[in-house]
Chains A and B, each alone.
Chain A
Amino acid sequence: MKYRAKFTKGDNVKFVGHLDLLRSIQRTINRAGIFIKYSWGFNPHQVFSIAQPLSVGQTSLGEYMDFELMEDISEDEVKQKLNAVAPRGIEILKVRRLNESEKKVAALVEYGEYKVILDKDIRDEQIKNFMLQDKIEVDKETKSGTKRVDIKGDIVNLKAQGNVLHTTISTGSMQNLKIELLVETLYKYVGFEYDEYKIDVERQDLYYMHEGKTLKKLI
């Protein structure tokens, strides 16, 4: 039986790196006493996949993972059992069974919605002008050196209220814009000094594009 769970990465676990988070979830599943399917090989390991990892220090209200259980348990029971033994900061918000044919989260996810607390106030009009540019070019590191790329197409929306930024941007395996890079580019445009350690990022949710027009949550 395949399942998808939506969970939080709260303040208590925001500094837990991606691999350590995977291990924590694996141990949470072990404690919950639900039996997950293992892949065999040299080192049997649980098979579960997580959509687009966050950077260390960022929190999220909408992370997703897929996993396969050995038994057929109700969605509610899975959720309850996991929440009873999850570390503080990780809360399972929703669980849904998947059909065999459904895409894995990692392949499905395309967009992420973020709330960013900045260390300075930004005015509406600054955002407007930023978005009115023909191109928003940045240097991106690739295997063959740095490249100038236009990220304008990766920004679905961008709004600011005082020092709070709301935005939805490409967050997927095909197209991806790092939220830090967007903020840095915006700061440069506005003429602010950028200090990556001074901004706080909270991911709101992850989406995919449904029939080419609407953004849909992963569950």
Chain B
Amino acid sequence: MDKKVSDYILKQVEKPVRYTGGEYNSVVKNPGDVDIRFAFCFPEVYDIGMSYLGLQILYGMLNERSDTYCERVFAPWVDMETKMRENDIKLFTLETGDEVRKFDFLGFNLLYEMTYTNVLNVLDLSGISIYSKDRGEDEPIVCAGGPCANNPEPLADFIDFFNIGDGEAKLDEVLDLYKEHKKSGGKRREFLEKIARLDGIYVPAFYDVKYNEYGTIKSVDVINENAKPVVGRVVVADLNTSYFPDKPIVPFLETVHNRITLEVFRGCIRGCRFCNAGFMYRPIRTKSVDTLMKQLDAQVKNTGFEEISLVSLSTSDYSGLPELADKIINKYSKQHISLSLPSLRIDEFSLDLMNRLQEVRKSGLTFAPEAGTQRMRDMINKGLTEEEILEGCRLAFEGGWNRVKLYFMMGLPGETDEDIIGIADLARKIVGEYFKVPKEIRANGISINISASCYVPKHNTPFQWESQNIHEEFERKQRLLRDEIKKVKQANYKYHDAKTSVVEGVLSRADRKIGKIIYDVWKKGARFEGWSDHFDYTKWQEAFLENGMSMDFYNTRKREVDEILPWDHINVGVSKKFLVKEKEKALRGEVTPNCKVKCNRCGDWRRDVGGVKSESICEMQRGGGIIL
């Protein structure tokens, strides 16, 4: 790029390639030749942001447009921020090095809540007004999307508009309107009014939230005639025809996931009640094996990556997997391209597959029972029985694996100490399975690594009304679990910081009032709060105190199902009725069969096409001919 920041500064910071761009497949255009300049920001450090598939998809898609130049920007690491502030350097994009504040758009991807303070910091480093209401005509339109946008309220004061749903679905239309609008010299408010009419576009300034005496929401009123009372999430109906990049950027820097990431399908059939991804990415839309192989061929050829990773929420549910895996192995193992399959259910098929992937080292296997007792697993609708877990482990031990990683959560609704102790019991039973396997067959020595995260009740899940544990309670349970696991000498236990989960819990279900807290916490210097050594809980405590607000209101308070929730005017597609039903079933310990067994009508997935209802865009519901 045309470096606007001097080599003198770049030489003094850690990993300067984070700021210099120029990677293979990064797009070069002449800014003078385009109508729209779009700065796409992943509000994390480059190494993390570049690993995110969503960035590659939208970057590629926007740059397909000859009238648009999409450039990247990340949150500068703290050493770079210091240099920038000392030398009054405004935040710049990687492609041209131009200042973000000169762009038409600044779009944030919100992958998780702990990046919210980074969003504010990026605005500030760019020299863009932090609050939406203060932004002048010459400032970029600031927008945001991604999974967190399904509860946009915490950032409502800072973002001009949100894109709710798949980025591929609506952005083109927004940019078409913008181009027209820019030519006619319209004001930013006029543009926001125009797009507020589109599905999936939410302009928070066009809504007024009134509160009850105790802080709950009294009403959300539309105050601009162009806005809709409820904003529906937009989704791509057919992943076989929607945009997928054939030339993803190949970073120079070793990023978290430096490989080909191939998305197999979107949505999840499982319906685990704690998981908001499982509901938020519905309905179920798959790619055919043909599509996947075509996309893969292009990516292999154009990137030179030596690893392929198949991703989706639960890849084992894809019934085309045996065929796909065969094709990939036959075609690519000769070229020394390896295949990795995260999120596989452990069974005979997957173990056999892993054997064939020439995993000489028999790296560890991962199970996610999520809860220690069957009662709790039924409550969260984790369709996995103890027999299945032990059977999977036995098969693995017989196959020569001897390292097992187990993922659990603590602090689930209705949890008792018995459920915590159950985690250690399960570990003990797994060790028992290992010793049942004859010595000649099993590998030497067994190790079990247990990770138990602190549960965060999320919006748009059946547990969205539930109370979250306070951090002292999490910590008590951690001590209890630690003591229990000590009794199983082959097992290790990894802690998670409870306080981070508490703040995440606050932000996940927050309303607009929290905007002031986020602002204050950022002002106190909070950045990169997803990094445990940068997270500082006391800043949040102070901010709540200073504003006369309470964290308990957001995280430990149990909501009634008829309370107006901050995200009720956003319709992600899964109906509230369905969530209430799931919540009630959870309390009764009843499981809900997965979508393969039976469609539970989680929402109305028909679409309005010119006044007529289309058939459901959920492949599972539609049935027939679909390979999932």
Q: B-contacting residues of A (Cβ < 8 Å)?
A: 12-13, 15-17, 19-21, 23-24, 26-31, 33, 35, 38, 42, 44, 56-57, 85-89, 196-198, 200
Cross-chain pairs A/B with CB under 8 angstroms, 12 sampled: A12-B1, A20-B253, A24-B250, A27-B250, A30-B304, A31-B302, A57-B7, A57-B10, A85-B24, A88-B22, A196-B11, A197-B11
Cα of A21 to Cα of B250 in the assembled complex, Å: 12
Partner of A44, one of B17, B22, B336: B336
Expressed in whole angstroms, the Cα–Cα distance for A21 and B20 within the complex equals: 15
Closest to A56 in B: B16
Contact of A38 with B11 in the complex, beta carbons under 8 Å: no
Task: Say if the beta carbon of B366 comes within 8 Å of chain A.
Answer: no
Q: Which of B16, B305, B360 is close to A15, meaning CB atoms less than 8 Å apart?
A: B16
Would you call B291 an interface residue if the criterion is a C-beta within 8 Å of the partner chain's C-beta atoms? no
Instruction: Determine whether the beta carbon of A87 is less than 8 Å from that of B254.
Output: no
CB distance from B410 to the nearest CB of A (A): 36
A-B CB contacts (within 8 Å), total count:
72
Across-interface contacts of A26 in B (CB, < 8 A): 304, 306
Q: Which chain B residues lie closer than 8 Å to A12 at the CB level? A: 1, 20, 22
In the bound complex, how far is the Cα of B302 from the Cα of A4, in angstroms?
24
Report if B303 contacts A (CB, 8 A): yes
**How far does the Cβ of A56 sit from chain B's closest Cβ, in whole Å?**
7
Contact, CB under 8 Å: B252 / A16 = yes
The reply to whether B12 and A31 contact each other, CB–CB distance below 8 Å, is no
A31→B23 contact, CB < 8 A: no
Residues in B lying within 8 Å of A, measured CB to CB: 1, 7-8, 10-12, 16-17, 20, 22-24, 250, 252-254, 301-306, 335-336, 360-361
Contacts of B10 in A (CB 8 A): 15, 57
Minimum Cβ distance to chain A for residue B101 (Å): 25
Most A CB within 10 A of own CB, among B10, B11, B336: B11
B18 and chain A: residue at smallest CB distance: A15
Q: Is the CB of A38 within 8 A of B22?
A: no
Q: Knowing that A15-B16, A23-B254, A30-B304 touch, tell me 6 more A-B residue pairs with CB under 8 angstroms.
A: A16-B252, A20-B252, A30-B305, A30-B306, A42-B360, A197-B11
Which listed residue, A17, A27, A85, A198, touches B305 by the CB 8 Å rule? A27
What secondary structure prevails in chain B residues at the interface with A?
A: loop
Chain A residues with Cβ under 8 A from B8's Cβ?
A: 197-198
CA of A14 to CA of B56, assembled, Å:
24
Contact B304 A28 (CB under 8 A): yes
A13 near B304 with CB under 8 A, answer no
Docked complex Cα distance between A68 and B252 (Å): 23
- Report how far A29 CA is from B16 CA in the complex, Å: 25
When A20-B252, A87-B252 are in contact, do A197 and B22 touch as well, CB less than 8 Å? no
Complex formed: what's the CA distance from A44 to B556 in Å? 52
Closest 4 CB pairs of A and B: A27-B304, A30-B304, A31-B304, A15-B16
What separation, in Å, do the CA atoms of A210 and B11 have in the docked complex? Answer: 36
- Cβ B302 vs Cβ A20 within 8 A: no
Residues of B within 8 A of A17 (CB): 17
Report Cα–Cα, A85/B25, bound state, in Å: 10
Given contacts A20-B17, A57-B7, contact A29 B22 (CB under 8 A): no
Residues of B with C-beta under 8 A to A42: 360-361
Chain B residues near A89 (CB-CB < 8 A): 22
**Do the beta carbons of A15 and B17 come within 8 Å of each other?**
yes
Q: How far is the CA of A36 from the CA of B1 in the complex (A)?
A: 31
Distance of A179 from chain B, by nearest CB (Å): 14
- Chain B residue contacts of A15, Cβ below 8 A: 10, 16-17, 20
Minimum C-beta distance from B312 to chain A (A): 25
Interface centre among B24, B302, B304 (most CB of A within 10 A): B304
What are the residues of chain A within 8 A of B301 when measuring CB–CB? 31, 33
Residues of A within 8 A of B24 (CB): 24, 27-28, 85-87
In the complex formed, the residue of A with least CB distance to B21 is A12
